[in-house]
Structure formats: C-alpha cells, structure tokens
Structure 1
Amino acid sequence: MTMITDLDLGSSIRVAAIRELDPLAADRACFLLREQNARADVPAMAAELRRLVPRLDTAEGFDPQQSVAAMRDLGMFLGSIKRHGPEPLELVPEVLPVLRILGHRTDMVPRDVVHHYCTWNPTGGRQRMYLGDVQEAYLQESVRMVFPHLREGLELCAILSRTEVHDPKFALLTQALTDHVETMVTSISMVVANVTPEFFARELRAYFDEITVGGEVLLGPAAAQVPLWLIDQAIWASDLSEPSHEEFVRDSVPYSLPRWRELYEDWTRVPSVVSRLVEAYGDDPAEAERRMPDLRDGAEALARLLRVIVVFRGRHLGIARKAYDADLRLFPVGSGGASVDLLKQIIDLTRATARLTGARQGHQPPAGRAPKAGAARAQGRTA
C-alpha cells in the first residue's frame, strides 16, 4: 500500500490527479450543496453527509490521493453544516473514525484545510463551492495560482538555508525565490479587483469556522494556511520574530503538508538568512565586501525579496482591515486565528527586517528594530 512518505501530494502531477478523483461519488452532492446552503437546509446536508461517509474498510483501502479527495468532499459538508449553527460531528458522529483514517493516511489533520478547498479542488463544472458565486471562485483561484510557486519557493529556501551568503549562487537563488513570491502580489491584486470585503465578511467567512473533531478544535480552511509564513521562517523569522508571531506560526504548522512541517522544524533550529547576512557584514561592511565581493549582490537580492513580501502583506492588511471592520464583520479574527493587529505586527516586523538588510547595503547603522537579540540567539545555534 502506498504511504504518504512515498509521494509528494503537492507536486503538479499529484495535484492534477487528485482533482480528477471522486472516491465518494460526491460530484452531484457537492453541486447540490450550493442550493442547500442557500436554503440553510441543515437536515438535507446532514443526510447527504451521512450518505457520503464510506465504510471504514473502504476508507482504510484508499491511497493517499483518494484520501485527500475524500477529505475534500466531506469537508465541504462539515463547513456548511457548521456555518448554519450545529457542530457537524454531533449530527453525523459516524464521520469521526473516517476523518481520523483519512488524516492518518495523508499525515495531515483530520479535517479539510485550504489546500483541499482550493488546490486539490476540481475546476470547471466539478468545482466544489459553498455558494457558487464568482467571487468565491476568484478566491479559490488565488490560492491555486500561488500554490506551485510557493512550493518551489520553499524548496529554494531549503537550498538558501545551506548556501553561504557570500556564495555567487546566493543572489541568483534569492532572485529566483523573489520571482516565485511575486505571484502572491499578482494573486492578491486579483482578489482586490474581484472580491468585495462585504462578500467575504458577510457571505463566505462563516463557512471557514472551526469545528470540533473528537474533542479537538480544528480551524477551517484559511489563507493563513498558505505558507508565506514558512518562507518568512527561513528568511528572517526563525530568530528575528516576536512571541505573538511565533505563536501564530506554531498554530499554523499542523495544517501544513508533511514536507512543510519538516522544513519548519529544520529552520527553527538554525539562524535565519538575514541573521547570517548581518553576521557576515560584521562591524566593517566595506571590509566585508572587499573580502567577499559577491556579498553585496546577495544583500541587494535579499532586500528586493523583502520588499516584495512587504508589498503583498500591505495589500493583504488592507483587505483584512476592510473585511474585519467592526461595522462589517461577523467574526473578530480570521479563519486562521490571526487578528488585524497581528497582521499589522507581522508587516512591521518584515519592514524592520528589510531596513536591517538595506542598512548593510548602505554601510549605515541599522535603522529601527535592532537585530542584536535575534543575532545573539542565532549565533548560539548550529547550522
């Protein structure tokens, strides 16, 4: 039997294969779910969910790809029922052992996450949607379009974390990473142009609420589960973060793919890329660049990357402020658990880190937040 360790569920081949799968024969049920949500017909949703729940021996026989597709479709009903009030597992308790089996088969949490709802979701006539509104489709597409770039970007981060900052390859790798991250700016610009804050706050957000699975409260699909925070972890956050941000990241880790959880553990134990750059420059930047001629190119490439991340975070913060305005919101925080205040803190941290990198380029003392605490922690770790 194929196990999760034997394949990468984030690869383009696996993603395409999962989108084609319908192991629960749920195509029609998922399409009719839109009408049931419009009517708030919880009894119909519960009855359909009960019908879709496979036998335990059938679920045990699913390979990881089938397990992902099954979790995707069960998750649409879990989120829909919770949106209208009840805890779904109280209405359909027989789904609990199946969720646990599917989570085990994929080495993921026993409910659906943003990748089920977006990345592994079919397109076209088979697309699973809560409402069927074109604005919902744009939100799903915004995650689809960035997923392969983030996946490639994370693998570049893995190489960067092992590459000396004065190596000529460092600047090239960082620029390639920036090219991938720039797709997030394109993606969020598409959301700004096509999705109103009112639609997200009043119509869609409630479908991403947390549910209780076997006594454990699990978050629903959330933008926070798209792992830009993991790129942050490699580039600056492993040793230049703040406690509230660190807690948010730790809470997001369980909703990641297995490979990404491994990367988080690896990067948490080593100095960030920015801290290594600061250390390489030392107290005499001009002398450091004389000894290491490629150091400046690396610093400039890193500064460009951080500027792109700041642009994305700034636009994301703007959307969040509108969607979670007190006069509009139905929920005080995002479905990933982050408040607008935390988003503001994250962008401030990213800007401070960008200034830190820019200061080294300009041979000036760092402006704003000093790196000494993070740098000291970094120097005490082993690479």
Structure 2
Amino acid sequence: MTRTLEIELGSSIRTAVIRELDPLAADALCFDMRRHNEHADVPALVAAVRGLVPSLDEVAGYSLEACVAAMRDLGMFLGSIKRHGPEPVPLVPEVQPVLLELGRRTDMVPRDTVHHYTTWNPTGGRQRMYTGDIQEAYLQESVRMVFPHLREGLELAERLSGSDVADPKFAVLTDELTAHVETMVSSIDMVVANVSPEFFARDLRAYFEEITVDGRVLLGPAAAQVPLWLIDQAIWASDNSEPEYEQFLRDSVPYSLPRWRELYDHWTGIPSVVTRLVEAYGDDPDGAERRMPGLRPSAEALSRLLRVIIVFRGRHLGIARKAYDADLRLYPVGSGGASVDLLRQIVDLTRTTAQLTRRPAGSAAARAERRPA
C-alpha cells in the first residue's frame, strides 16, 4: 500500500466522510448497544452482530471510507460481547471473513482500533459509545482532539529527521512540533478533569480487551495506539531506548495507519535527532557552536519539546497509577499492553534524553555514561 491510502484515511476531509457513513444501517442498533451492555445482554449483542454482518459481495461494493465505517461498528459490538465474557468471533463465525476483508481493503488490522473508536466515530446523536456515560464521551473527545495535531507533528518530525541540526530552520521546525505536542497536555488535562479513575477502571476498561480473529490475538482500541511513541522514535528512541520499550513499540506499530508504519520503519533504521545533535557537538562544544551558530538554538528547542513530552507522560503516569491501583483495577496492564512500570520507565528515558539536549557536549564515552543502564 502507498502513502495515498493513509492520506485518504487520515485527512480531515476523509475523516468527515467516514463519520457520516453508516453502511451497515447500524445507527439504531449502536444506540441500543448501550442498554444491552448495561444489562450484560450477550444474546442481544450477538443477534445485533448477525443482523449487521454484510456479505463479501456487499463489502466488494464499499468505498474505502465505508470499509472503515463498517469496521468501526462491527468492532464496537465485538468489544461489547468480549467485555461480558465470551470470545465473540466463534459466536458469529460469519463475521470473520468480513473482518479479514475489511482489514485487507484498508491495510489495517482486521478489527477496530483507537482511530475507529474516536477519530472516525460520529459525534452528536450518532456517536457510538459502549456506556453512554458522559465520561466516556470526554475520553473519546480527548483522543479525537489530538489526532490532527499528531498527523501534522509526525510530518514535521520527518522533516527534522532529515534536517541539519545546525540549520537555523531546525529550531523553528522543532518549536512547531512542540506546539502540536502541547495539545496532548490539554488532552490529558481534559481527562483528569472529567474522567474518574474509578469509571475507567471499573466501567470502561473491560470494553478494550483483546479478541481473536483467524487465530490472531488483536488488542482493542487503546491509548497506546495514539502514536506519541512514534515522535519518540524520530527524536530519541531509535537508538537511545531500552528493550522493553522497543518491544512495546513493535507491538503497537501494527495498529497504526499505513503512513505511520512507514515512518516507524524508516526512523528505526537511522540515528535519532538527539543522537545527531550530540554528535554535532562532538568533543569540543564551544568550538562546535562557534563553527555552527545554529546548534545552540536547536538544542534549546529540542529541550523545550522534550519538556512538554515529559509533562504529558508524567500526567499520564499519574492517571495510570490511579486506574491500575491494586485496590481498584480489574486488569494488571493497559489495553495496549503497557504496565505502569513501563510508563514509569518511559518517563525516565525521556528525562535522560532531555539531559543530553541540555548538556550535549562531551565525548562519545561521556554520552554513553548518561545513557540509562
């Protein structure tokens, strides 16, 4: 698949089209789903899925956007069934070939993701929700509001990954990226203000459990699929990470949009932006700054970016600690597979990297000493 596919799916125009579509005529059933979930009515949920599943011939006539909308609605019901206990696909086996074909057509995993649950979800009276609780709506909006900024931010990160760290434009681009990342801080503040840890842990988390499709275990919609980690990969994590975080990224990549998977593959094979900055300073930082006056502004801009990321990650860690407290949680890890310990490790790694941008001078040995053990 090519970048064109991702642009079609991820652009604001395509997103608006997807939100409007209802190819399965599921509006009323999706609203009824809230009541079925409240009463744990698995037979009603199963009957709804059976009534919604299109034939493969019908899917063949769908537009790309209709395929996304169909996956969105089928996925909501499958997640609802799993929340109440049973593995959903064996109860409605005719859904499996449809999921596989929808995944093939969209070049995504054959189930719904956080994109379907938030960005491609209608707003207003047609909004698909598991519970109907206003707290769920706030959680969906908190993710929906950041995706346009992340799309822009990832394209800026691509430009940075290919830019000379001493170029005066480098700091300008980095500050533009920082402005987009700051929306994630606003997003997490919205969650803190409007979504209680108890609601997420006790009422909502169970709807994001994994399901099995064609023998493949697939994670449910998860905050981990919001790719701030991909900005990490470009800026510092491609060569300054640790095995547990690296594995988490590999596990998260399949749930991304096609364009973002391409970026991950590219950034994984090249030095990170922070590494290139450190190497530019070399063993004579004062001399490097005299030769390349743009270095200091670049280092300061990267430091500002990493401070914003640290603020977001710190607040996210605080929420996770409450939601996954032993006395409250129903699950030991997040729906994306990340534990609280991993989140803490990522915060520590980001702080260590920020130190490199504040004190990028020194030999390669000195840089190695600053790396996390």
TM-score over 0.5 (shorter chain): yes
Amino acid at match of 1:105: R
1:38 aligned to 2:77?
no
Secondary structure, aligned partner of 1:165: coil
Q: CA deviation at 1:8?
A: 2.6
Secondary structure, aligned partner of 1:9: helix
Q: Map 1:93-104 to 2 at 5 A.
A: 93-104=93-104
Q: CA deviation at 1:63?
A: 1.7
Structure 1 counterpart of 2:341 = 341
For 1:361 and 1:171, the matched residues in 2 are separated by 18
Distance change (3 Å), C-alpha of 1:274 and 1:6 = closer
1:86 aligned to 2:86?
yes
Structure 1 counterpart of 2:315 = 315
Q: CA deviation at 1:64?
A: 1.3
Structure 1 counterpart of 2:119 = 119
Q: Which moved more, 1:10-19 or 1:58-67?
A: 58-67
Q: CA deviation at 1:345?
A: 0.4
Secondary structure, aligned partner of 2:212: strand
For 1:4 and 1:31, the matched residues in 2 are separated by 33
Where does the alignment leave 5 or more consecutive residues of structure 2 unmatched? Answer: none
1:98-120 Cα offsets, whole Å, 9 max, x none, are: 00010001000000000000010
For 2:93 and 2:85, the matched residues in 1 are separated by 16
Amino acid at match of 1:18: I
1:194 aligned to 2:212?
no
1:282 aligned to 2:278?
no
* Number of aligned residues: 371
1:78-104 Cα offsets, whole Å, 9 max, x none, are: 000000000100110100000001000
Q: Map 1:203-242 to 2 at 5 A.
A: 203-242=203-242
Structure 1 counterpart of 2:72 = 72
Q: Map 1:251-262 to 2 at 5 A.
A: 251-262=251-262
Amino acid at match of 1:180: H
The alignment's C-alpha RMSD in Å is 1.9
Q: CA deviation at 1:61?
A: 1.8
Q: CA deviation at 1:4?
A: 6.5
1:203-262 Cα offsets, whole Å, 9 max, x none, are: 000000000001100000000000000000000000000000000000000000000000
Structure 2 counterpart of 1:291 = 291
Structure 1 counterpart of 2:169 = 169
1:183 aligned to 2:178?
no
Q: CA deviation at 1:361?
A: 7.5
Amino acid at match of 1:36: H
Q: CA deviation at 1:272?
A: 0.1
1:244-303 Cα offsets, whole Å, 9 max, x none, are: 000000000000000000000000000000000000000111100000011100000000
Q: CA deviation at 1:371?
A: 4.4
Q: CA deviation at 1:370?
A: 2.2
Secondary structure, aligned partner of 1:338: coil
Q: Which moved more, 1:40-49 or 1:53-62?
A: 53-62
Runs of 4+ with deviation above 4 angstroms: 365-369
Secondary structure, aligned partner of 2:370: coil
Amino acid at match of 2:268: T
Is the contact made by 1:224 and 1:252 (CA closer than 8 Å) also made in structure 2? yes
1:39-87 Cα offsets, whole Å, 9 max, x none, are: 1000000000000000110112212111000000000100000000001
Structure 2 counterpart of 1:16 = 16
Structure 1 counterpart of 2:138 = 138
Distance change (3 Å), C-alpha of 1:283 and 1:361 = closer
Q: Map 1:22-61 to 2 at 5 A.
A: 22-61=22-61
Q: CA deviation at 1:360?
A: 2.4
Amino acid at match of 2:79: G
Is the contact made by 2:253 and 2:261 (CA closer than 8 Å) also made in structure 1? yes
Distance change (3 Å), C-alpha of 1:16 and 1:287 = same
Structure 2 counterpart of 1:378 = none
Where does the alignment leave 5 or more consecutive residues of structure 1 unmatched? Answer: 374-383
Distance change (3 Å), C-alpha of 1:367 and 1:266 = closer
Q: CA deviation at 1:7?
A: 4.3
For 2:130 and 2:372, the matched residues in 1 are separated by 48
Amino acid at match of 1:270: I
Secondary structure, aligned partner of 2:9: coil
Q: CA deviation at 1:356?
A: 1.1
Secondary structure, aligned partner of 1:360: coil
Amino acid at match of 2:267: W
Structure 1 counterpart of 2:5 = 5
For 1:133 and 1:87, the matched residues in 2 are separated by 25
Q: CA deviation at 1:179?
A: 0.1
Amino acid at match of 2:180: H
Structure 2 counterpart of 1:108 = 108
For 2:58 and 2:361, the matched residues in 1 are separated by 59
Identity across matched positions, percent: 75
Secondary structure, aligned partner of 1:212: strand
For 1:317 and 1:195, the matched residues in 2 are separated by 15
Is the contact made by 1:103 and 1:111 (CA closer than 8 Å) also made in structure 2? yes
Is the contact made by 1:114 and 1:223 (CA closer than 8 Å) also made in structure 2? yes
Distance change (3 Å), C-alpha of 1:11 and 1:304 = same
